[in-house]
Amino acid sequence: MKNILIVDDEEGIRNLYELEFQNEGFKTYSVSSGKEALNYFNETRNVDLVILDIKMEDMNGLDVLEELRAKTAGVPVILNSAYSTYKNNFTSWLADAYLVKSSDLSELKDKVKELLTI
Amino acid sequence: MISIVDKVIPLNKAGPPGIHFLLENRHDRNSSPVGIDNIEIISPSHNSSTLREIFINNQAQLKDIVDSAFHGQTGSIGFAVESEGKNHYYELHCFPNSGDNHKSVGCLLVDRTKEQSERARVDSQIYELGLISQAVRAFAETRNLSEILRIILLAVTAGSGLGFNRGFILLADDSRECLWGCMGTGSSSPEEAGKIWNELSRNPMTFNEMLRLYKAGGAYDGSVNEMILTVRIPLSGEQDFIARAAMQRQPMIVGPEMIKNDNDLALKEKFGVDNMAVVPLLSQNSLQGVILADNIITRRPILQTDLNLLEIFARYASDAIENSRLYGKLEHQVELLKEANENIIRSRENLIRAEKLSSIGRMALLVAHEVRNPLTIIGGYANLRLRKTGADDPSRHTLELISRQARRIEKTLDRFSSVVRMSGKEEGKFLLVELITETLGMLSTETDPLVPRHTIGRNLCEAEIFVDKGLFHQSLMAILREAAGIAGGMRNISLDVDCEGNSALIFIDGGESNPKFAENFYSGLRDRKDEERYQNMAVALEILRHYGGDIGIGSSEGTHGRLYIHIPLREEKV
C-alpha cells in the first residue's frame, strides 16, 4: 500500500483528501504546516507521494518543496493550491505536477495514480 | 520752298541738343495751300538731307503740325523712324513766325532715341520688378513647397519678365551633401515653344492669370520636368559647374569656357545647352538649392543683367523655400507631438485599465483563496457523498446541485485568477527569447506536456521588449492554449519568432492540415460562443495592447493565413 502525505493548513481539505484517497486504497497521513511536513520526513521517510499546499501560515509550500527536493529527490510532489499563479514561479517547476484545488478530485486522483505508476 | 538753317543749338544748358531750322513758304499763301507736300527742302549739309528724308518719310504724321504752324499755332509731335533695322525717336516742335506774316515757321527737331531706349529699359525693369513683386505676394499665400517651386519657375520663364526659355530647380538635401532635381518647366522643342508663344500673343495673360493656370497644372511640362528629376548633383568630390556655383555661393553664367571636366560635359549634354544661368538659392547663407535657367529655343545669350535680376529674385525664392521647409518641419513636429500626446493619453487609459484589472485580480486572488478552499471542501464532500448515494436516493438531486454549482464557482474563480500576479510588478526590458522560452517551459508543466515546435530568428538573440514579465507569460500562454485548442493540441502548432522593423513578430501556425486555423481562432473570439474562452483572450489581448502590441492574421502569397502576435522592440518605457 502506498503512503501519501497530505500537507494543508485547512482541516476540511485534509479530511476530504484523506477520505478520498483512503477510499482509493492509499494509506494517508496529514499535517497542517510545512514545518510539520519536514519533521515528518526527517522522522519516518516512509512517504511515497506528497500533496502539498502552497500558501500556508508558517511556511510557504514552495520553500517546503525546495527542502524536500534537497532531501528526497525521488519522492513525487504534487503542488495543490487555491492559486493558479504560482505556476509562474520557477520553484513550482520542481514539483512533479501543479494542480489547482477543485471540488472535482478526479484530476488529482488521476495524477497521483500516474505518478505512483499504479 | 523751305530753307533749312543747319546748325545745332542747345535749347538751354540743361536741355537736350536739337536741330533748329526754319521752314519758309515761298508761295503766296493766299493762292497756294500751305502743306508739306509743296515744300522743297534745300540743304547743303548731310544733316539737312537726313532731315529731308525724315520729313518725306513721315509726311503723314508731320503734315498737320506744320500746316497748323503756318496758320499760327504752336505744336509738337513725337515720332519714330526706322533706320538700318533700328528705331530712332524724334520730337518736332513748330513755332509760327508772326513777324513775316506767317511765311516761315521755326522748327526744333530733337533726337530722343537715347531717352526713349532708357525709358524702355526702365519700363522693362519696372515690369520685371512688378513680376517679382507678384511672385513674392504669391509666395506669401502658400506654404506648400511644390506650389512655391511652380511660382518660381513661372516667374523665371514668364513672357517678357525674366523670360528664360526653361527653368529648373534643384534642392539641397538636409545634410547639404547633394542637390536633387525637383522641378522644371519650359518648352522641350521649338515647335512647342512657338505654339505656346502664339497662344500667349493671341490671349495675353497677366502673371496672376498664368499662375492660376499653372497651379491647376495647365502649363505643366512633362518631359522637361521628368528630365530634371533624374539629376543628382553631389556637392563633394569632383564638382561640376552647378556644384561649384552652389558651394561658392556665387551666381554664374555658364559658357563653353566653363566646361572643365567630365561632369561638366555630362551636364551640358543632359541639358543640351552650353549657356546657362546658375543661381544659388541662399537663405541666411544656408544653401537651399539652385535655380537653373537657359534659352534653349531662342539661343539668346544670357547677359549679366539677366543674371542680376535672377539673383534678386532668387533671394526671395530662397526665403520662401526655407519658410516652407521650416513650416513643413514644424508641421511634422506638431504631428509628432500630437501623436505623442495621443500615445500618452492612450497609455494613461491603458494604465488605468490595467490597474483596474490588476485591482480586480488582486481582489480575485483574495477571494480565490478564501473561497476556493471551502468550495473544494463543500463540493468535494458532495461528490464523495454522491458516489455513495443510490440513483433513487431523494438527497441525490441536492448533492448533484451542490457539486455542479461548486464547479461553476470554481470556473469563475479560474477566469479571474488568470490576471492575478503573486508578486508586484515586474515591468522592464526583457530578452524576448527568454520570455518565450519561459512561457513554453510553463506550458510544459501543464497537463499536455508537449510544447509547440518553435524557431527563433538569430537576429532576435539580443532583442528586448518592454513588458511586465508575468503579464506577458500569462498573455502568451492564454493565446497558445487557445491556439492549441483549435489546432487539436500543442503538438499541432508551431511558433516562428522573427522581427520586422521595430516589432517582434510571433507567428503561430496550425500546420498544413489546418489551413483555416487562424480564421477559426478569430471567429471563435468573434462569435463569443464560449464566454470563458472569450474572457481569457480578452485579458490576453488587453495585456498585449497595453504594451503596444496586438494580434492579427497574416499570409504571404500562396500560403494559408497565420496568426501573429506583434509587440514593439522598445528602447524605453512607453
pLDDT tens across the length of chain B (574 residues): 444 444 444 444 445 556 777 777 766 555 444 455 555 444 444 455 566 677 777 777 788 888 888 888 899 998 888 777 788 888 888 888 777 666 778 888 787 888 888 888 888 778 878 888 888 888 888 888 888 888 888 888 876 567 888 999 999 998 889 999 999 888 777 777 777 667 766 677 777 777 777 666 555 567 788 889 899 999 987 789 999 999 999 999 999 888 888 888 899 999 988 899 999 999 887 899 999 999 988 888 999 988 988 998 899 999 999 988 888 888 888 888 888 888 778 777 776 776 676 666 666 667 767 788 899 999 999 999 998 888 888 889 999 999 999 988 887 777 666 555 444 567 788 888 888 888 887 776 554 556 777 887 777 778 889 888 888 888 888 888 888 888 888 888 888 888 887 888 888 888 777 878 888 887 777 666 666 667 677 778 888 888 888 888 876 555 667 888 989 887 544 3
Q: How far apart are CA B272 and CA B302, in angstroms?
A: 15
- A 10 A CB-CB count for B117 gives 14
- pLDDT recorded at residue B559: 64
Query: Are B384 and A19 an interchain contact pair (Cβ–Cβ within 8 Å)?
Result: yes
Nearest CA-CA partner of B568 in B546, B552, B553:
B546
- pLDDT recorded at residue B2: 47
Q: How many Å lie between the alpha carbon of B555 and the closest alpha carbon of chain A?
A: 33
**B433 and B456 Cβ atoms separated by less than 8 Å:** yes
**C-alpha pair distances (Å), B480 with each of B488, B515, B562, B565:** 12, 17, 13, 11
Q: How far apart are CA B465 and CA B503, in angstroms?
A: 9
**C-alpha pair distances (Å), B211 with each of B148, B152, B205, B316:** 11, 10, 10, 17
Cα-flanking dihedrals φ and ψ of residue B22, to 5°?
A: -120, 135
Nearest-by-CA chain B residue for A11: B377
- pLDDT recorded at residue A73: 74
Give the helix/strand (H/E) hosting B321: helix B304-387
Joined together, the cell numbers standing for residue B301 give 545669350
* Nearest CB partner across the interface for A87, out of B382, B410, B442: B442
Joined together, the cell numbers standing for residue B22 give 526754319
Joined together, the cell numbers standing for residue B399 give 448533492
- pLDDT recorded at residue B44: 41
Give the gyration radius of chain A's Cα atoms: 13
Q: Hey, is the C-beta of B407 within 8 angstroms of any chain A C-beta?
A: yes
ipTM above 0.95, yes or no: no
**C-alpha pair distances (Å), B327 with each of A108, B319, B354:** 70, 12, 39
Nearest CA-CA partner of B300 in B204, B192, B160:
B160
Q: Hey, is the C-beta of B362 within 8 angstroms of any chain A C-beta?
A: no
Output DSSP code: residue B491. G
Query: Are B365 and A83 an interchain contact pair (Cβ–Cβ within 8 Å)?
Result: yes
- A 10 A CB-CB count for B70 gives 21
Nearest-by-CA chain A residue for B472: A88
A64 or B413, which is more confident: A64
In a mutational test of the A interface, the residue from B363, B366, B377, B418 whose CB has the highest number of chain A CBs within 10 Å is B377
Q: Chain B, 446-485: which have a CB under 8 Å from a chain A CB? A: 446, 470, 473-474
- pLDDT recorded at residue B107: 80
Give this prediction's pTM: 0.46
Contacts of B422 in chain A (CB under 8 A): 83, 85-86, 88-89
- pLDDT recorded at residue A97: 92
